[in-house]
Amino acid sequence: MPAVTVTKEFTKLEKSAAKLTVTIAKKDVAANYNETIQKYAKNTQLPGFRKGHVPVSVLERKYGNDLKNEIAAVIIDKALNELFKDTKDESIERPLPYAQPVLEDMPLLDTKKDFTFTVTYDVFPKVEVKNFDGVVVKEPQVEIGAKELEDELKAVQERNAVVLDRKDDDAAEKGNIVTVTYFELDDAGKEVEGSKREGYVFTLGENQNIYKFDDDVIGMKKNETKLITKSYAADDKNEELAGKTKKFSLTVTAIKIRNLPALDDDLAQDVSDKFKTLDDLKNDIKKNMETAKTRKVDEIKNNSLLRQLVEKNPFELPESMVKAELDARWGMMAKQFQTTVDQLDKMVAASGQKKEDMLKQWTGDAEEMLKSRIIVDALLREYNIKVTPEEVEAEYTKIADGTGMSVEEVKKHYEDPRAKEYLVDDTKENKLFAKLYSEKVKLEKGDKVAFADLFKDAQ
């Protein structure tokens, strides 16, 4: 279709929405209309006419309004594509990728008049982060001593343990690895559609299974089936279980036990060829713990800072942005349940819960995360934070020192452009936070925290 000349009026609305009114000159409207209808005439076949010989006047009489609406839609699409692809035009803002422009009303196309239409859409929020008054960040104080090292060594033992089947008549005990099949029961005692899980494996006593039925399984034997009723506290961390009572049918299909290796040089050598003695392994573990501690403490500090900045520099999010984030979280929950989004919808509905209510409960956390991300982006631009090739090289060395890898191995990992982009973005953010702590924010010593507690969900 011929190019169109447009005039436009852009208006910002509430919640990072925008309204764009576009007017196309009547000469361009007529040119696009005539070219399009001529193409239709060449490709349309009607009774009494050979293909390609249908007069335009006949098409207009038979399909007049439909043709005009279709051509109007094409003209609108063409005009918007041209406007939004012009990145040098700063008089308008582009729509978010997941927020398609919405046409207010389909205007009547008249080839003798200018053609005007209006669309609304969501744009990326803009915020000026100016208020740092009273922002104080407390840094947790964490020591890594003998007990912390002992706990990590125990974890190494467990990862290198030999797993053996127990006898069929042995009862399951705390620490055993059990495999179960379970499904939820409704009030009539029938299986809830979509709730069945087969071959689910977990370690008794670690309370890592979703429904927390460790204590109910202790004492069961292989091939034994048990009916279980579980009631969950109103403040349970799993929001889809909080305040609910569930009934299950559970069958134990396998019980295994870990045979822990001795803490000696042989174990160290089994863990990696780079270790010759148990002391080598201990030194490496402590080094990794220090790296993990630093990373986690920084995360806690930065999250505290961002929460305060979100509170002190309020702005609104577009609805489509929040919806996209909630949809992504719903998809992640489906993966955690090892199922599809559609199947998760059915499971939730069958349990008597409403997806809408669950998403509403998540909204506050989702909005805070999005606002934090937007504030970081705004500050990166405001302070013009950039990363030099030398700084990237320094990051490679830092990662190598923290992981025990060689610099060449680290570089090989970041050959993937997306992985390197993530590294560069992370380095930019680290530079930003360092600048804020030195120039804008008061940093104080916080409470003493045990290394293991540092990584608990409550933190």
Q: What is the pLDDT of residues 204-233, one digit of tens each?
A: 998 888 888 999 999 999 999 999 999 999
Residue 220's Cα: distance from chain center in Å? Answer: 39
Q: What pLDDT shows up at residue 258?
A: 87
pLDDT band at 459 (very low <50, low <70, confident <90, very high): very low
Locus of tokens 């010593």: 445
CATH homologous superfamily, domain 136-144+276-455? Trigger factor, C-terminal domain (1.10.3120.10)
Q: What pLDDT shows up at residue 109?
A: 87
Which of the four CATH numbers 1.10.3720.10, 3.10.50.40, 3.40.50.11260, 3.30.420.40 does domain 162-259 have? 3.10.50.40
> Residues 189-198, buried b or exposed e (16+ Cβ, 10 A)?
eeebebbebe
Q: What is the mean pLDDT of residues 358-372?
A: 94
Q: What pLDDT shows up at residue 457?
A: 54
Q: What pLDDT shows up at residue 2?
A: 62
The answer, yes or no, to whether residue 21 has pLDDT greater than 90, is yes
Q: What angle do CA 301, 304, 309 make, to 5 degrees?
A: 125
Q: What pLDDT shows up at residue 99?
A: 83
Domain residue ranges in the chain:
6-122, 136-144+276-455, 162-259
Q: What pLDDT shows up at residue 61?
A: 78
Q: What is the mean pLDDT of residues 44-68?
A: 76
pLDDT digits (tens, 9 = 90+) for 92-134: 899 998 888 999 888 888 889 999 999 999 999 989 999 999 9
Residue 275's Cα: distance from chain center in Å? Answer: 38
pTM, 2 dp: 0.69
Q: What is the mean pLDDT of residues 411-427?
A: 92
The answer, yes or no, to whether residue 14 has pLDDT greater than 70, is yes
Q: What is the mean pLDDT of residues 336-350?
A: 89
The answer, yes or no, to whether residue 402 has pLDDT greater than 80, is no
Which of the four CATH numbers 1.20.58.340, 3.30.499.10, 3.30.70.1050, 3.10.560.10 does domain 6-122 have? 3.30.70.1050
The answer, yes or no, to whether residue 272 has pLDDT greater than 70, is yes
Q: What pLDDT shows up at residue 335?
A: 92
Percent of the chain residues topping a pLDDT of 70: 98
Q: What pLDDT shows up at residue 458?
A: 42
Q: What is the mean pLDDT of residues 279-301?
A: 93
The answer, yes or no, to whether residue 448 has pLDDT greater than 70, is yes
pLDDT top residue among 343 and 41: 343
pLDDT band at 3 (very low <50, low <70, confident <90, very high): low
Least confident of 57-66, 83-92, 183-192, 436-445: 57-66
Q: What pLDDT shows up at residue 389?
A: 93
Least confident of 154-158, 305-309, 389-393, 403-407: 403-407
Q: What pLDDT shows up at residue 65?
A: 79
Percent of the chain residues topping a pLDDT of 90: 65
Cα(118)–Cα(265) distance, rounded to whole angstroms? Answer: 74
φ, ψ for residue 166, nearest 5 deg: -90, 165
The answer, yes or no, to whether residue 247 has pLDDT greater than 50, is yes
- Mean pLDDT is highest, among 64-73, 234-243, 246-255, 285-294, for 246-255
Mean confidence (pLDDT) of the chain: 90
